[in-house]
Structure 1
């Protein structure tokens, strides 16, 4: 396994400054945003796609520092019912897959998106209960008319470019649990997999270790984010898990994101890393920093310090004791 970072937290640094900084911390891989919610501070798709020289120079900057690109990420909502938003997201995804193929990057990360509830909808509709029955009708329409047709086409496109799609299981989007990921994968093929982030499992009441087992049995983990979550039980008793309290109002939220080790201890993270390895994931663990209590540098540094001791770097080879 390699320790990586999702570089959007260093969007205030230019590419060279960011690469020097993360390499100096012992990072081995970078996940680069190409637009959408993450922005494109370090990877300009249109500048690179049709310029061989710029691509070579771009890769040289990364490899010369002993780094690799684990994924290109373009998180947005390609199923948004407002066409100007969905079309922009779709165009970005298409370009990102082409660029990933060109750069030899095996994974493109994004969200599944979430449609509206009918053709004339203006906003996404995320059903979270099976009753009243119209919620089931909305969900059926979304999957049959929007989600599966769109991603079936995109999975085939990614497959043609020898790129895998890592969908982040994130609340508010149609694919947000192991079950919804596997449902889409079954309909669209193995190009679809998870960019699994345990922070989103915890707040949904899902044990990340068990989610790794569920997805790992199907070889459905394409990428992995390292981010923690703390649960505040008194606030959860009041607000529930689908808490709409602002992320900035941390004292009153049911849960909020933390850097690795500040929501769950080293044993929990050791179990997560070991289970990834047990189920065949031997790729990058990419740090994502969204901790509202720490500066970027402090949170990033502490995540590295907490992950390094539990990372599994070498395969066992022969079981000499048997």
Structure 2
């Protein structure tokens, strides 16, 4: 396995500076972002120009100059947003990501399942994390049968023709319809194996899910992995639980994302990485910096150090 970087982790650097910063630290595998979610305006790829041959030649030249490889193209966003304009933008960015992946011979595109409204419609997504509400019970089943399943069935068929070497890897991200193993299991009834998973353990730790259990269940469907950690505050969780609506302030939040190795200990990371390898994954662990305590450069450096420790310990134990 190799350590890489998700480009959105370094939003204050332009593309050339971001490539150079990563290359100087031996982080040559870049997951480049073009999605609707993330820093705005997009700091490294512009959807308005990324389809032009001139821009693609420029990108290719910069990659060669700095020894950069693309590990994936990331189109994070809500592809099923109930607002038509937002849905169209997210889907356009997703298709641009697939097109870029084909052009640059990258076999992974990262996104989320999407989250539509409920059966009554409306302008806002409804996150289906419950099944007992008297007002909107069985929302997950409705979304899956009417929106998420059909859209991804059509997309899986399209991918097989338009980009047969590409796997789309869904990040199981709370806030969208597919956020845990049970949800992905339902989605597999609609899609072929060209729709898999981007395994980000940080989203599981705060939910009380063991990421290793997810790897053991879906190992052969994991096409990409993120390096991101979560710090839990047991005393705060006793009072607030893990579901909270506040900003991720380290002084008050019951949990927040942190650099790798600064939430879970090294032994936990070694166990997770070993599970990935045992499941057959030997690709990139792509650092996604979302630690509110540090800027992108420091947070990414800290994650690289934490992952390096874990990989070294795993090698020593082999």
Above 0.5 in TM-score?
yes
* Cα distance in 1, alignment partners of residues 295 and 126 from structure 2: 34
Aligned equivalent of 2:180, options 173, 177, 181: 177
Aligned equivalent of 1:213, options 198, 213, 216: 216
Partner of 1:94: 95
1:44 counterpart = 2:34 = no
* Cα distance in 2, alignment partners of residues 4 and 261 from structure 1: 16
Partner of 2:20: 20
Count of aligned residue pairs for this structure pair: 312
Preserved CA contact (<8 Å) 1:129 1:135: no
Preserved CA contact (<8 Å) 1:259 1:303: yes
Partner of 1:265: 265
Question: 1:158: Cα distance to partner?
Answer: 2.2
Question: 1:307: Cα distance to partner?
Answer: 1.1
Partner of 2:152: 151
Using a 3 Å threshold, how does the CA distance of structure 1 residues 110 and 312 change in structure 2: closer, same or farther?
farther
Partner of 1:229: 230
Partner of 1:8: 8
* Cα distance in 1, alignment partners of residues 309 and 252 from structure 2: 33
* C-alpha distance after superposition, 1:137-158 (max 9, x if no partner): 3222211110001111112222
Partner of 1:304: 304
SS at 1:128's partner residue?
A: coil
SS at 1:223's partner residue?
A: strand
Using a 3 Å threshold, how does the CA distance of structure 1 residues 63 and 280 change in structure 2: closer, same or farther?
farther
Question: 1:263: Cα distance to partner?
Answer: 0.1
Consecutive unaligned residues in structure 2, runs of 5 or more: none
Question: 1:245: Cα distance to partner?
Answer: 2.1
* C-alpha distance after superposition, 1:228-276 (max 9, x if no partner): 00111122122222222222x3322221111001001111111111111
* Cα distance in 2, alignment partners of residues 152 and 238 from structure 1: 42
* Cα distance in 2, alignment partners of residues 4 and 38 from structure 1: 18
SS at 1:180's partner residue?
A: helix
Question: 1:97: Cα distance to partner?
Answer: 0.8
Preserved CA contact (<8 Å) 1:257 1:290: yes
Preserved CA contact (<8 Å) 2:150 2:190: no
SS at 1:183's partner residue?
A: helix
Consecutive unaligned residues in structure 1, runs of 5 or more: none
Preserved CA contact (<8 Å) 1:36 1:89: yes
Q: TM-score, normalised by structure 1?
A: 0.91
1:137 counterpart = 2:134 = no
SS at 1:311's partner residue?
A: helix
Q: TM-score, normalised by structure 2?
A: 0.92
